[in-house]
Amino acid sequence: MASVRHMRERTVAFFEIVKVKAGEHVRMTPLNWDGALASLTTASLQDRMVDKETTLVGSTAIVDEQDHLLLHRVKDASEWLSVMDWTTGQWQELEQNASRGFVDTSAICFLPFGNVVGIMQGSTSAPSHKSLETWLNELRFFTGDRFAVRPVLSRAEVERLATAQGAQRIEIKIGGHRIEALGERTGRLARFLRVAHEAYGDIDVTMIISVPRGRALEEHRQALLDDLRDIAPVAPDATDRARARLVFAEHDGPERSRLVELTEHHITAKRRIPAVDERGNSIRILSAVDAILNVAADHEGELRAAVEADQD
């Protein structure tokens, strides 16, 4: 039984909710998420449900007198679900009926600054930050504004990209299913990837562009850096891999380079999450919320800096 009940390591990831205006992402003053969650506790099921490509339902969990969001993905009736008795080894199919269903759940905590949320998925098929984006936009929580939910990126990596003088080499891998995440980006890299998708359909594309060393090609490295900066904000969502060797140089000094991983500077942390307490009672949600809040406290300075929130 120990092999079945051992604590699994799960990821806490942080995202920023921003307004979409004329195709661009715009930061907002902190919204009243506490009020929105409070209203959710008394809302009807239909008022908490979004039925798009998948069915999403929101509910609240109260931990230490604070409301937190549980976002559920309703499993399709065609999915194969079974239950096994660990004592006898017998298994039995589970069937959904009209009044009951099975769901995958993610725990979501709204932090008190910068419209930042911490998310822990209960399984790989549980709602992601994109599911949260869909749910918020379809339910129109705040005066009809459209939101984007984007990864919170480490300020140190963002600053490296901002202070570089050029890009010597880039490597980008993107799957066809992610192409829409490029949004309205207009740089040449985004256009190249979009054209490949339009020409060949739902394919994986790996693009490598390299500019030789030397001052004579400095303008080419600067142009490549500009195009890289264009897609950098959406790289964690849009690409499976995005890395670049950036060029730094003092005035009239020698060039130096540094490798930057654009898809790996999303602020995350892993925690082992107990599912039951010593008496065998389920504590999954309590464990998830505690883990999110503890990681948020550990990384608060980094998170505030990343979203340009005032330091307390």
Summary mean pLDDT of the chain: 84
Q: Calculate what percentage of the chain has a pLDDT beyond 90.
A: 36
pLDDT tens by residue, 150-208 = 888 777 777 778 888 889 999 998 887 778 778 778 889 888 888 888 888 888 889 99
DSSP 269-312: EEEEE-SB-TTS-B-HHHHHHHHHHHHHHHTHHHHHHHTTPPP-
Contact 167, 244 (CB under 8 A): yes
Q: In 3-state terms, what secondary structure has residue 14?
A: strand
DSSP 35-99: HHHHHHTTS-TGGGEEESSSEEEEEEEEETTEEEEEEEEEPPTTS-EEEE-TTT--EEEE--BTT
How far apart are the two ends of the chain, measured CA to CA in Å? 46
The torsion angles phi and psi of 97, rounded to 5 degrees, stand at -125, 180
CA distance linking residue 267 with residue 308, whole number of Å? 15
Joined together, the tokens standing for residue 251 give 């005035």
Q: Calculate what percentage of the chain has a pLDDT beyond 70.
A: 88
Q: How confident is the model at residue 311 (pLDDT cuts 50, 70, 90)?
A: low
Q: How confident is the model at residue 252 (pLDDT cuts 50, 70, 90)?
A: low
Neighbours of 125 (CB within 10 A): 12
pLDDT tens by residue, 125-156 = 899 999 999 999 999 877 678 998 988 877 77
DSSP 194-260: HHHHHHH-S--EEEEEE--SSGGGHHHHHHHHHHHHHHGGGHHHH-SEEEEEEEEE-TTSPEEEEEE
Joined together, the tokens standing for residue 175 give 């799957």
Task: Pick the range with the lowest mean pLDDT from 73-82, 182-191, 284-293.
Answer: 73-82
pLDDT tens by residue, 95-113 = 766 567 788 999 999 999 9
Contact 173, 240 (CB under 8 A): yes
Contact 307, 113 (CB under 8 A): yes
User: Which residue type sits at 282?
Assistant: S
Q: How confident is the model at residue 279 (pLDDT cuts 50, 70, 90)?
A: low
pLDDT score recorded for residue 4: 44
